[in-house]
Structure 1
């Protein structure tokens, strides 16, 4: 039985609207808030309440959150420090979608003295991919390598970038510009974004994979000393990385992110005809033998719901469900990998990630635990 909670969702963009709808469907009292009344009018449909709130105005945010049990931030990453601070002050449990390493470090510090749960990096990558990676590592007695590859791509690429922005433009730029964490030969280290390009073939489709920032979440810390090599790379269609290097480095747009934002917004329009590909591989010793395991998941978007909308929103809502079920820490900083994969997939939102995956034996996600339907 669902215990109804008063939940605020900040940000009425492509992901925030879906999160609000999923939580409302589970019986919660949901209010979707945004600084733009026009954006809210477009999102309104009777499933949840709406309210005009500027999340950058911390005084207004304190008033808005004072009687909420949970807040989910689907805002750009640069607003989340302030939102998390106000959430801790108003005793509101906090969830976000950030990939930003500095923001997560700030929230981790807040969590040291917080009386509420602070759960950043929900969604797909970081998020679901971190839970998959931790589960993969646990399958081996000694872990040689964990490779995580995730792509959110247009199903029918038509421009030179072979890409459409299907989530946050600011988040995309951030992960293309900032240093990337990996584990190499047992040691955490930083490598540049857009480097380490490799060719990947999945189900007959060619991709390139390259370093991007934030995808590992807190796994480098969680698996410290337990894995020899670990990396996260973004999947794109071949040729994308070189064009982005031209923009970011040769034209110096890494130092002029507002111009880059305008270019991407103008040239890479949103589409729901997208595809999300998740590819996780583990190599390690088990029963004295070197073995390899892989999980491949594919999600196709449609006119009603994009693949990145589904996977990101479901990943976030599943963490909210786990928290309300008492299967995550009740307060302080919460890592994505604090969630057990079997429990995550047994939530209503997690069950959607199993049920809507294409070309995969879903039971193979958790080989030792049966997946329970959460319908």
Structure 2
């Protein structure tokens, strides 16, 4: 099997390194627009099965050129390129695992095309969306009647510093997008849109995390795929106390708006200005981070009230020398690509991970994540 990984940042490099270790993988091609990023990826992977390739990755034709000879590809790309890459994968008859979960409605419209091409497209296959999705779906499957599913996740600094008590571990553009977009959720069995930064609540996690705060963020594909199976569903993102209040003020004042305004004769979006100002304020004193997941599903089983909870507190990986966010995002995608290569996943079309990593596949998938260093605890 020939694998292509699009994007060689920390997450992409981790995926390249892990996939290259799997048996049955003939080659892994690391693709990026920057040769220096590819060189760093090859050095870290240190595997004769790994090759590098530069490509512009701007148009569908650019993607087709690097995907046409591949069996499976993994997309570690900016949100703006995700849909284009999926269309190219379908045209190239290449299976595709995508870390990006946004634009789900546009992606699911490609389901029939993907089926006709005989390819598997898995959108949002990281930690959230990704791990949180199939944990919620499995909890719902375990109940006769599912009342509520709450998906909670957050990547936070191990050693938080003021003023925002947060450090960027992936693209700041993606972080601010999470803060500004209305959130799809399920309420009383119907899909609803909830305001960004709403639903503030306090939470406590095991050490070294402690007290946190969470707000509602987009539930991505689960609002659509789990509708009809659960009465209420929301996704929430955690930060340390005080962070959300400060970001809410910026949002209310318009600093996170995308609408262009004139400044000294030029046009710019306030959010672009805010990115430049906030970026240095979101740099921590250490690269060490923590990724927290908690998925709670409540309902009844055989007439008895049940609550299922999965929880993960994952720390910076000193063995791999990568952030926890990179590890927890990369490993589910790497295993999913491996399972496609091994024909453990055979469904074609656009198939969100919560529709395929349930029932008989659930425990084996978790077991492989455990072997790679991701430990998720379950409590009933």
TM bracket (short chain): 0.7 to 0.9
Return closer, same or farther for 1:224/1:320 CA change in 2, 3 Å cut-off.
same
Distance 2:90 2:372 in 1: 35
Q: How many angstroms does 1:220 deviate by?
A: 2.1
Q: 1: CA distance between counterparts of 2:371 and 2:191? A: 32
Q: Which structure ranks higher in relative contact order (CA pairs < 8 Å, sequence separation ≥ 6)?
A: 2
1:262 aligns with 2:284: no
**1:85 Cα offset (Å):** 1.2
Equivalent residue for 1:282? 297
Q: Distance in 2 between matches of 1:291 and 1:330?
A: 31
1:97-246 paired onto structure 2 within 5 Å: 97-100=99-102, 102=103, 104-114=104-114, 115=117, 116-203=119-206, 205-213=210-218, 216-246=219-249
> Deviation of residue 337 (structure 1)?
1.1
CA distance in 2, matches of 1:325, 1:217: 27
Q: Is the 8 A contact 1:170 1:261 kept in 2?
A: yes
Q: What's the CA shift for 1:108?
A: 1.4
Q: How far, CA to CA, are the matches of 1:168 and 1:136 in structure 2?
A: 31
Give SS of 2:196's match. Answer: coil
Q: Structure 2 CA distance, aligned partners of 1:224 and 1:179?
A: 18
Provide, for residues 319-343 of structure 1, a one-character-per-residue CA deviation record: whole Å limited to 9, x for no partner.
Answer: 2123233333442111111223463
* CA–CA distance in structure 2, aligned partners of residues 222 and 253 of structure 1: 30
Matched, 1:14 2:19: no
Which residue in 2 is equivalent to 1:37?
A: 35
Question: Which residue number in structure 2 is paired with residue 306 of structure 1?
Answer: 323
SS in 2 for 1:293: strand
Q: Is the 1:153–1:163 contact (alpha carbons within 8 Å) kept by the matching residues of 2?
A: yes
Q: Equivalent of 2:312, from 297, 302, 319? A: 297
Deviations, residues 150-174 of structure 1 (Å, cap 9, x unaligned): 1111110113111111123222122
Q: In 2, distance between residues paired with 1:254 and 1:150?
A: 25
The answer to whether the 8 Å contact 2:60/2:84 transfers is yes
Shift of 1:201: 1.3
Q: TM-score, normalised by structure 1?
A: 0.88
In structure 2, the partner of 1:56 is 58
1: CA distance, partners of 2:206 / 2:273: 37
> Alpha-carbon deviation of 1:307?
0.9
- How many angstroms does 1:96 deviate by? 0.8
Distance 1:12 1:251, change over 3 A: same
Segments of structure 2 that go 5 or more residues without pairing to the other structure are 259-268
Matches of 1:354 and 1:188, distance apart in 2: 36
Partners in 1 of 2:82 and 2:372 — Cα distance?
A: 31
Contact 1:183–1:231 under 8 Å retained in 2: yes
Q: Which residue of 2 aligns with 1:78?
A: 80
Matched residue SS, 2:129: helix
Q: How many residues align?
A: 354
Shift of 1:231: 0.8
Find the counterpart in structure 2 of residue 370 from structure 1.
none
Question: Structure 1 runs of 4+ off > 4 angstroms?
Answer: none
Unmatched 5+ stretches in structure 1? 368-375
Q: What corresponds to 2:261 in structure 1?
A: none
CA distance in 1, matches of 2:132, 2:145: 20
Using the TM superposition, give the Cα deviation of residue 353 of structure 1 relative to its aligned residue in structure 2, in angstroms. Answer: 3.8
| Cα deviations by residue, 1:29-49 (Å, 9 ceiling, x for unpaired) | 111111112222232213221
CA-to-aligned-CA distance 1:38-95 (integer Å, 9 cap, x gap): 2222322132211111211433322222211111110101011111111111111111
CA distance in 1, matches of 2:362, 2:341: 12
